[in-house]
Amino acid sequence: MFDYLIATFLVMLIVVGLMAIGVMFGRRAIKGTCGGVNNGECVCVEKVR
């Protein structure tokens, strides 16, 4: 049982470490449909107040 706890902790530590490395290298953030994969052609509609 204790082996699973240690293995889970190590896996989570590796995942957090990889995310931290991604932030340190300044990778672009994931974007939604406006400005994402469709090359800036926004199809979103703004609400008028």
pTM attached to this predicted model: 0.49
Which element (helix H / strand E) includes 4? helix 2-24
Residues 1-49 have pLDDT tens digits of 889 999 999 999 999 998 888 778 876 665 555 555 555 566 566 656 6
What CA–CA distances, in Å, run from 20 to 6, 23, 31, 46? 21, 5, 19, 34
